[in-house]
Amino acid sequence: MNICLDGIWPLSRSVKFIPDIFLTHIHHGFNPVFEAASVCTLLDDCFELQYGGHVMHFNYVWLRDHCRSATCYNSKTNQRNLDTGSIDLNIRPTKTRVDEENLFLTWPDGHVTRYNLAWLAKNSYEGQKLSAIQPRILWNSEIYTNANVPSVSWEKFMSCDDELKTFLNNFLLYGIAFVEDVPATIDDTETVTKRVSIIRETMYGRMWSFTSDFSRGDTAYTKLALDRHTDTSYFQEPSGIQVFHCLRHEGTGGRTLLVDGFYSANRVLEQSPENFELLSRVPIKHEFIENLGTQVNHMIGIGPVLSVYPWNNEVYIMRYNNYDRAVINTVPHNVVQRWYVAHRHLTDELRKPENELWVKLKPGKVLFIDNWRVLHGRESFKGFRQLCGCYLTRDDVLNTARSLGLQA
């Protein structure tokens, strides 16, 4: 049996390119960026815009829905007023007009919408496909080491917004970032973290601190080695960021392993698009079951190993935790075989020694890990070791980054 993994994206549609006799309007050189002519054409089932050397298409219901006039849109709150449910799904403009910078459409009820052409181009599907993906530097150990990413220091980090911005920029580029010279207490770790975002409380607590006392039903609370993994893959939305601060270690071993999961995912894509597709389309489960006596925790998270944006295949979450991966029971046996092949391919990439960045966390050095991208692990250790930290929600960290003017 041949299982087809083909999805419906982009939605197959038969576009009839019938130029509308009312409007084929040509402008020359009004766009300072592209220096290209724009051409607007009303087709039967969509509006076509040639702009900046690209052809873009806009559905008529979409155009009505995206009217930014004061009655349709509240520009103070950036919220839509228009009831999308009231738009005739076969709506067409009755009149059109174009000037140097704007398109004007008159709708059957007489309402006129003005669209800035540059705004349309920026917000088109084709424009999104062309737009740069989130700027990132995919790394292996050599790339990261050679980049000599400057770490920031506690005092400046706490007082200077530019320092926070540099830190967040590095975090967005590499998926890891360090703050040095932080006083080795839980309270100061919390203070440094709150500079970045609000804290995500989970069943592990808000700020947590752990040793090898097996106080929780998880291997993290032992002295054993932990292979590379992402945390909380058993949440429907895995924690976006993990913060670690090693407050004490009297003993040997216990180094931290970091691996850029997106670097390996990209290698899989380059070498086998089929394996990449399996990893991005087959949903699997991760599960956490713990009985504390006083409380039982049972978490289940469902999602593919690689979550990708359907319009450009950009990976945005990797869930990879072989310890916490649950029974696979939602995939037919022949796909399971192909999935294991794909999973092995990714595992082989993730395990290449050249992809491993080893760091010894010391008191004062706070590590922020993008838990949707960078895997962590640890070497086994001897002696007393105490680590504290917390989880952050990705939205909140990106919110801070955007407020400082970063693309995120």
Ligand X SMILES: O=C(O)CCC(=O)C(=O)O
**Interacting residues with ligand M3L (CB under 6 A):** 204, 208, 210, 218, 220, 229, 231-232, 321, 323-324
How many chain residues are in contact with Fe ion, going by CB under 5 A? 1
Interface residue with Fe ion among 231, 324, 349, 370 (CB under 5 A) is 231
Strand partners, 106: 95, 112
319 to 358: interface string for ligand X, x by CB under 6 A: ----------------------------------------
Q: Is residue 367 at the binding interface for ligand X, with CB under 6 A as the rule?
A: no
Cα 265 → chain centroid: 14
Interface residue with ligand X among 105, 152, 366, 387 (CB under 6 A) is 387
Cα end-to-end span (Å), the chain? 43
| DSSP code string of 164-187 | HHHHHHHHHHHSEEEEES--SSHH
Binding to ligand X (CB under 6 A) within 57-116 occurs at none
DSSP E strands in 93-223: the ranges are: 95-98, 102-106, 112-116, 152-153, 176-180, 208-210
How far lies 8's CA from each of 13, 77, 92, 127, 311, in Å?
10, 34, 26, 20, 11
Say if CB 355 and CB 260 are below 8 A apart: yes
Return the residue matching tokens 């090693």: 246
Toward ligand M3L, which CB reaches closer, 136 or 343?
Answer: 343
Toward Fe ion, which CB reaches closer, 183 or 303?
Answer: 303
Phi, psi of 337 (to 5 degrees): -60, -50
Q: Is residue 48 at the binding interface for Fe ion, with CB under 5 A as the rule?
A: no
Interface residue with ligand X among 82, 87, 220, 225 (CB under 6 A) is 220
Q: Nearest distance from residue 370's CB to ligand X, in Å?
A: 14
User: Which residues are CB-neighbours of 131 under 8 A, at least 6 positions away?
Assistant: none
**Which does residue 373 bind out of Fe ion, ligand X, ligand M3L, none, counting CB within 5 to 8 angstroms by kind?**
none
How many chain residues are in contact with ligand X, going by CB under 6 A? 7
Residue closest to ligand X, measured at CB? 378
Q: Is residue 256 at the binding interface for ligand X, with CB under 6 A as the rule?
A: yes
Q: Nearest distance from residue 197's CB to ligand M3L, in Å?
A: 17
Toward ligand M3L, which CB reaches closer, 299 or 335?
Answer: 299
Say if CB 240 and CB 369 are below 8 A apart: no
Whole-number Å distance between alpha carbons of 130 and 161: 32
Q: Which residues here bind ligand X, judged by CB under 6 A?
A: 220, 226, 231, 256, 376, 378, 387
